Structure formats: C-alpha cells, structure tokens
Amino acid sequence: MRLQDEPDLPPQINIVPMIDVIFAILTFFIMSTLYLTRSEGLPVSLPKAATAKQQQVPTKITVTVAQDGQVSVNRKPTTVDALEGQVRALVGENSEVLVIINADEKVSHGQVVTVMDKVRQVQGAKLAIATQKPQ
C-alpha cells in the first residue's frame, strides 16, 4: 500500500563518481607521459645554437662530457683514452652510425676537440654535437 501524499522523487544521475573516475584516468595519462621521454645522455647544460637541426639516423651513440670533465659513452663512464675502442666496438659492422657529443657548455674547448678527434678515428662514425635552441 502506498500513501498518496508521498511526493515522487525525480530520477537523478549522480556524476560525482564519474568525475572521480575521469580524474583518475587523467592522472594515469599524465603520469605515464612523464616516462615517455628518452634520455640518451647524462644531464648537462648544452650550449645554444640558432641553426640547430634534428638529426635522423637509425643508430645513435651518445658521448657525454660533463662539467667536471668526466666522459661517458651511452651513460657508462669511461676515459678519453678508452673512448675510441668503445665507440669502435659499438659501431661494429654498421656503415652509418651517428655519434652525438653532449658536452657541457663549461667544458674546455680542448677537451671537446680531443673527444671529437677520438671519435673521428673510428671508421663509419658520423659526428654531431648536441645543442639547444635559444629561448
């Protein structure tokens, strides 16, 4: 039995749980895109060049020269003397390999030239220097 004086409640859609789900999905996508960036070198302060161009070569080797002079090949610390052998081993039989030098802007010119000279002695290695566009 139903009483006649009870008002009918209009149907309602509660959107609060839907908003919670949307925010959870949005948070997931934001957090996952933070891990999509590829970092091939160690963090250094690159010099700026207005004529910088993006290089498109399938195989890349990154040589990093940090501010304190520490040299790394693909994030593995090495010395300038062992650099040529390590790059030669990574190049292997590839006919076209791009060796990118990430040198901090505070590193001396002489040390960068020494690293470039070691890389140029490897057959099949093309040389590039990483820069940033000025903002």
Domain contains 125: yes
Q: Is residue 54 in some structural domain? A: no
Does some domain include residue 101?
Answer: yes
The CATH number of residue 88's host domain is 3.30.420.270
Residue 130's CB is within 10 A of a number of other CB atoms, namely 19
Q: Is 33 contained in some domain?
A: no
Could you tell me the pTM of the whole model? 0.59
Q: Residues 58-91: pLDDT tens digits? A: 678 888 898 888 898 988 888 888 888 888 888 8
Q: Is the dihedral of CA 106, 108, 113, 119 positive or negative?
A: negative
Q: Give the number of domains in the chain.
A: 1
Please, are residues 73 and 62 in contact by the beta-carbon 8 Å criterion?
Answer: yes
Confidence of residue 22 (pLDDT cuts 50, 70, 90): very high
**Residues above pLDDT 70, as percent of the chain:** 86
Q: What is the pLDDT of residue 4?
A: 65
Q: Which domain does 106 fall in, by range?
A: 59-129
**Phi-psi domain of 131 (left: phi exceeds 0; alpha: psi -120 through 50; beta: other):** beta
Contact 89, 69 (CB under 8 A): no
Would residue 10 count as lying in a domain? no
Position 124 in a domain: yes
